Chain A
Amino acid sequence: MNNAVLRVGIAGVAHGHAHSYIAETRLIAGASVAGVWDPDATRAQAFATHYQVPLFADLDALLQACDTLMIAAENAHHHAIVMAAAAVRKPTLCEKPLATTVADAHAMVQAFAAAQVQLGTAFPVRYSPAVRRLRDTVQGGSLGQTLMVRATNRGTYPGGWFGDPLLAGGGAVMDHTVHVTDLVRWIWQQEVVEVYAEAATRLHDIPVDDCGLMFLTLADGMVVSLDASWSRPAESYPTWGDVTMEVTAQHGIVNLDVFGPRVELYQKTTGRGHWVGHGVNFDGLMIADWLDAVRHDRPAPISGVDGLRAVQVVDAAYRSAASHLPEAIIDIG
């Protein structure tokens, strides 16, 4: 596969990241877009027409025509698509959360382990230069031991299928717990062992949670507080949301604001301010790294197991929100 053009299939375009995946793939020499499929034929047709890419009527045909699959379908569809890709041994990059249940995520990881090809989870925030510097700072040791972390991944309510429990598998906690969980695991090189969560539907008239507050406890006892709420009013808030951490360590305090670099824009016509981000394009770096891993047959940069670990935390959070008690991570692997 080393010299051939890598053909990328896009399975599911319900998630907005489908647009950045196709745009970024097209920027990479040695990669091309094989085509698109979506469970919703109308949506697939619109996407194919907009981007002038081949439309596939069924997933199996797309799998035959591509070397690697990128999935941006609704959360609940990830499992079936990933299992189909495993059956024909196509390296697959799946949008987060990897699945809506631990059992599904576990089965997906097992299937790819058996197929001996790469399963990746799309956690682009790992590619933020500030996140990378924070990881190097923590691991470099000059901060001493980390005592606690205050984290946020707040956002506007994305609307559409994100409010449908059958398609999304949950609400804000399902959508926004996984990014920070992945960053914490990657930066501190430890697993989350216990979660306490309060979740509620308070801000929108939807059948899923839109407010979520959690404590994630790591193996060494370090605690991360996390706000995963869809608490930004879309009508007036100047950006979609945030990823922040305040790290309290023995020798100092570090503040991370992943989407901090910005120019502020206020226009007479839009009725709200707008923060124009100008930081590094994480999606582009993630796609390039993924395709390079596929091409050179190296392990997925961010694996299916990483995706599974984050789903386990979401699962514990929802169990805790129901039991009102701290809940241990259940590792069925």
Chain B
Amino acid sequence: MRYGVIGGGGMASYHAHNITLIPTATLVACAAPEFNDAIRATAQRVGATCTASVADLCARPDIDAVVIATPTDTHAQVALLAMQAGKHVLVEKPLARSLADAQLMLDAAQQYGVKLMCGQVVRYFREYATAHQLITRGDIGTVGVARTARCGAYPAAHTWYADTARSGGVALDLLVHDLDWLRWTFGEVTRVYARGLIDRAIPDRDTVMVILRFASGVIGYAEANWSYPNGFHTSLEVAGSNGLVAHRNDDVLDLTLRPQAGSGARLANDPLALEDPYLAQLIDFTQWCAGGTSPRSTARDGYEALRLSLAVLESVQTGRPVLLQGDAS
């Protein structure tokens, strides 16, 4: 699979690097108005070209698929350009900034006969995949209540996150991960009521909390914030009639470093990236494009996760519960 990467920030450079780790994939070109050092280094290492023009990249006949990691509000425009050019598309979450944009993307994939996937990567985290498996095979019986949390530092290096009209704030950017996992595990959501800080205009403290009701009867709580000064915390806990499943990422790291101040001590990377969920996601997408089975997360899943995130935002802004009809498909 010959890849182009569109976007010049952290996620774009990560995907570009991961492409170079897949034996059946090649990184051909990268496109962005500006690139970080990591993406330039990766491109140089494998002889990929860097261009400012997304149109030029999409026009290249020697590219089969693109990975899009641009600001959220540009996903649809960029994806449409790529799909019109016959490229398969893996787009970062959230699928788009609006449901109308998201629908255009789903339609374009049909119209141009290309594969479209949304990077709901939490399904590829081993802990979340394991919890999903334990729950869905019945190890804890009938589920009553499920809760998740996802807390990180505000991505201050990129100013577009502060513009909620572009990013959707933490509800679209982080909470969408857990909403997708919850929907994957417990099915469709019928009602959400959310509280949050998006209207306070303090993007670097943006926080959202939501209580959900699922068609299956499960009730859920999900929370995301950009208030952590450093580090990244995720947790999940699901209680059922026969037991409890729990995970907290801070408890279960297999290698950690406490450096002496100013020493420059740092941990080595895992050269094989065996546990990297982003690589697993990219491998899944690559084999799908090559004619393999459907990936663990589809564009429709991305659409539904976005629909939930937007319902959460609507609830925060109206102060009222939002009712969701069943699966829009």
Residues of A within 8 A of B (CB): 128-130, 132-134, 136-137, 140, 142-144, 249-269, 276, 278-280
Q: Measured between alpha carbons, how far is A128 from B272 in the docked complex, in Å?
A: 11
Are the C-beta atoms of B265 and A252 separated by less than 8 Å? yes
List of B residues within 8 angstroms of A265 by Cβ: 134, 139-140, 243-245
List of B residues within 8 angstroms of A279 by Cβ: 126, 254, 275
B117-141 CB contacts (< 8 Å) to partner A: 126-127, 129-131, 134, 139-141
The number of chain B residues touching the other chain, given as a range, is: 35 or more
Nearest B residue to A255, CB-CB: B256
Are the C-beta atoms of B134 and A263 separated by less than 8 Å? yes
Interface of B is mostly: loop
Are the C-beta atoms of B253 and A257 separated by less than 8 Å? yes
List of B residues within 8 angstroms of A143 by Cβ: 265
List of A residues within 8 angstroms of B247 by Cβ: 262-264
Q: Cβ of B269 < 8 Å from any Cβ of A?
A: yes
Are the C-beta atoms of B243 and A251 separated by less than 8 Å? no
Are the C-beta atoms of B257 and A254 separated by less than 8 Å? yes
Residues of B within 8 A of A (CB): 126-127, 129-131, 134, 139-141, 242-247, 251-260, 263-272, 274-275
| 5 pairs of residues in contact across A and B, judged by CB atoms under 8 Å | A263-B127, A264-B244, A265-B243, A267-B242, A276-B134
Q: Measured between alpha carbons, how far is A123 from B243 in the docked complex, in Å?
A: 35
Using known A-B contacts A133-B267, A267-B139, determine if residue A251 contacts B256 with beta carbons closer than 8 Å. no
List of B residues within 8 angstroms of A251 by Cβ: 259-260, 263-265
Which residue of A144, A269, A276, A280 contacts B275 across the interface (Cβ within 8 Å)? A280
List of A residues within 8 angstroms of B264 by Cβ: 142, 251
Are the C-beta atoms of B126 and A132 separated by less than 8 Å? no
Q: In the complex, what's the smallest C-beta–C-beta distance from A187 to chain B, in angstroms?
A: 12
Q: Measured between alpha carbons, how far is A252 from B245 in the docked complex, in Å?
A: 34
Q: In the complex, what's the smallest C-beta–C-beta distance from A314 to chain B, in angstroms?
A: 26
List of A residues within 8 angstroms of B269 by Cβ: 133, 136
Interface of A is mostly: mixed
Q: In the complex, what's the smallest C-beta–C-beta distance from A177 to chain B, in angstroms?
A: 22
List of B residues within 8 angstroms of A249 by Cβ: 265
Are the C-beta atoms of B271 and A132 separated by less than 8 Å? yes
Q: In the complex, what's the smallest C-beta–C-beta distance from A30 to chain B, in angstroms?
A: 17
Q: Measured between alpha carbons, how far is A143 from B127 in the docked complex, in Å?
A: 30
Are the C-beta atoms of B242 and A268 separated by less than 8 Å? yes
Q: Measured between alpha carbons, how far is A250 from B268 in the docked complex, in Å?
A: 17
List of A residues within 8 angstroms of B258 by Cβ: 252-255
List of B residues within 8 angstroms of A261 by Cβ: 126-127, 252-254, 275
Q: In the complex, what's the smallest C-beta–C-beta distance from A180 to chain B, in angstroms?
A: 16
Greatest chain B CB density within 10 A among A133, A249, A261 is at A261
Which residue of A130, A140, A258, A269 contacts B242 across the interface (Cβ within 8 Å)? A269
Are the C-beta atoms of A263 and B131 separated by less than 8 Å? yes
List of B residues within 8 angstroms of A278 by Cβ: 126-127, 129-130
Which residue of A137, A260, A264 contacts B245 across the interface (Cβ within 8 Å)? A264
